[in-house]
Chain A
Amino acid sequence: ETGVTQTPRHLVMGMTNKKSLKCEQHLGHNAMYWYKQSAKKPLELMFVYSLEERVENNSVPSRFSPECPNSSHLFLHLHTLQPEDSALYLCASSQGPGPNAYEQYFGPGTRLTVT
């Protein structure tokens, strides 16, 4: 256990559905990240939150909407997704900003399938 949990672990949704992914960290960190891992690309950074403020949006389509209500919780709201959005979505946390931001602890991921 890394201290980062993600729910659900598996999700199947249609293109017209709305769903949310949840991440929770129990490490006292103040930075949280969403990554996407698909079969065709390396692990890609999607969003970074530092001190509950979004500091980076890595050119992610608007059908992905992140939310960070506090330093322990991070959500990824999904709507009108495409089949190519099927992937493993990983959450991570760290003590950032600064050098410690690179020591990221990852959750187990949510395996998303869009039908």
Chain B
Amino acid sequence: KQEVTQIPAALSVPEGENLVLNCSFTDSAIYNLQWFRQDPGKGLTSLLLIQSSQREQTSGRLNASLDKSSGRSTLYIAASQPGDSATYLCAVADRGSTLGRLYFGRGTQLTVWP
């Protein structure tokens, strides 16, 4: 069974810092990896999706990398802002499943203070 681990569990930084959130997974036979953002009372929003054949994806100040062979992904947030405060979840999709089965980590709770 796929297990996903996220480090750190919580992070509190001043505005403007560049951040790195880490995700690791135990089975490298994945279809893709996603990073989600979860705001209180608002469910999950997909930020970036990296296919297994890709090395990275970028969206604005966010950059996610994937090293499938070592079972690792990082989410890089540049020039952090208070509006980035949320919980960030990493989710892995197993290869071979057509049902959209995702395995989630526990998340990193990020607080960016002014």
Contact = CB atoms under 8 A, between A and B. Distances in A.
Interface of A: 2, 4, 9, 31, 33, 41-45, 48, 50, 55-56, 90, 92, 94, 96-99, 101-109
Given A42-B4, A104-B102, 9 more contacts: A31-B100, A43-B104, A48-B100, A55-B99, A90-B43, A102-B49, A102-B100, A103-B49, A106-B36
| 9 smallest beta-carbon distances between A and B, as pairs | A101-B100, A43-B104, A97-B98, A106-B44, A106-B43, A108-B43, A42-B104, A102-B93, A42-B106
7 contacts: A2-B45, A41-B106, A43-B104, A102-B49, A102-B102, A104-B100, A108-B42
B41 interface: yes
A42 B42 contact: no
Interface residues of B, number: 25
A64 B34 CA distance: 28
Interface of B: 4, 31-32, 34, 36, 41-46, 49, 89, 91, 93, 98-107
A109 B93 CA distance: 22
Nearest to B41: A108
